[in-house]
Amino acid sequence: MLGEQQTIPSDGRIGRRVGAPGTGAAEMPDAERRRLDPRGSPRRQTGLRHPKVEGNKEGTPGYLAPEWLTSQIIEKADVYSFGVVVMEIISGRKNLDTSKSEESIHLITLLEEKVKSDQLVDLIDKNNADMQAHKQNVIQVMQLAMWCLQIDCKRRPQMSEVAKVLEGSMDAETNIDHSFVATSAARFGVAQNIGFSSSAHASDLSGPR
């Protein structure tokens, strides 16, 4: 994906990591598992084709990495989008949901609040009995999502590392920043030598707009 040969596995290994029945993990329905298939990833919506591109900030609101604000897009923008999708699956809701109360409209902002208050279990889909029965396993997958959601793109994993975590051959990084919504271009990891408009905010891309 975007310069890496390794992609997210689509042959059932996600199910074994996130929850094939009898493994002690939280079962993920087939329909949701297919959402993690790179063939249907947000990359196809944003038009990313190269490790670094310049262009218009187009794509699905709520899925774009903060560095889209700079118009210099790198490979790891896909990783951020993947983290958003994982959190949607775990929570059973969209990242941007205007039917929620004002403080809950943006899932990733809510994730920030919950991890800082040690209340991650509150985000697990209450209508999913399997996830509710295996909360600790689900939180491990949330740890992967949070690693993917690092504002500084240099701190995100490679897609090959994401695949290894899903396969169970490595653990997600735990020494991470728990702020996932950027308000300053300097935090993106790609903004040191480019212009930035103070009138825009990264949350316009990864958050409500």
Dist CA 75 CA 77 (whole Å): 6
pLDDT at residue 156 in the model: 94
Question: Does the pTM exceed 0.75?
Answer: no
DSSP 74: E
Average pLDDT per run of 10 along the chain, which is 209 residues long? 42 42 44 47 38 43 58 72 94 93 92 96 96 94 96 92 92 94 52 38 46
Dist CA 82 CA 8 (whole Å): 10
Domain ranges of the chain: 71-167
**Across the strands, what pairs with 96?**
106
Fold classification of 71-167 is Transferase(Phosphotransferase); domain 1 (1.10.510)
DSSP three-state, residue 132 = helix
DSSP 66: G
Decide: 123 and 143 in contact? Cβ < 8 Å. no
pLDDT at residue 46 in the model: 33
Helix (H) or strand (E) holding 73: strand 72-74
Q: Which two tokens stand for residue 114?
A: 């919950």
